[in-house]
Amino acid sequence: DAGVIQSPRHEVTEMGQEVTLRCKPISGHDYLFWYRQTMMRGLELLIYFNNNVPIDDSGMPEDRFSAKMPNASFSTLKIQPSEPRDSAVYFCASSSNRGRGYNEQFFGPGTRLTVL
């Protein structure tokens, strides 16, 4: 398996622009998580899905952030409009609720977002 795939790996945009981050979880995993990592706040859970349904979005900072999971193999995190304080590394992770390895999360390589 290729692991969790994220795209793009790097994104530079200007304030006010829409940004869309993409994630493909590991095949067969039924949980998907979006995290944000900054020096100031560390690793923060933004939202997670189970079987494509959002379960907990309490970590989403504000209405400018939205996440979708239209099917089991794809998720997006959108920021509209983007602001400089959104600059961070965004990680996607997936896990499975089956077998002895359940709830171990596998992380993607991250998307480094810079908003100018």
List residues near other proteins by CB under 8 A. 4, 30-31, 33, 42-43, 45, 48, 50, 55-56, 91, 93, 95-97, 102-110
Identity of the residue, 12 or 15, whose beta carbon is nearer to other proteins in the bound complex: 12
Identity of the residue, 76 or 105, whose beta carbon is nearer to other proteins in the bound complex: 105
3-state secondary structure 36-100: EEECCCEEEEEEEEECCEEEECCCCCCCCEEEEEEECCEEEEEECCCCHHHCEEEEEEEECCCCC
Question: What is the closest distance, in whole angstroms, from the C-beta atom of residue 93 to other proteins in the complex?
Answer: 8
Question: What is the closest distance, in whole angstroms, from the C-beta atom of residue 38 to other proteins in the complex?
Answer: 12
Using CA atoms, how far apart are residues 82 and 116, in angstroms rounded to an integer?
9
Question: What is the closest distance, in whole angstroms, from the C-beta atom of residue 89 to other proteins in the complex?
Answer: 9
- The values of phi and psi at residue 97, to 5°, are -100, 20
Identity of the residue, 45 or 78, whose beta carbon is nearer to other proteins in the bound complex: 45
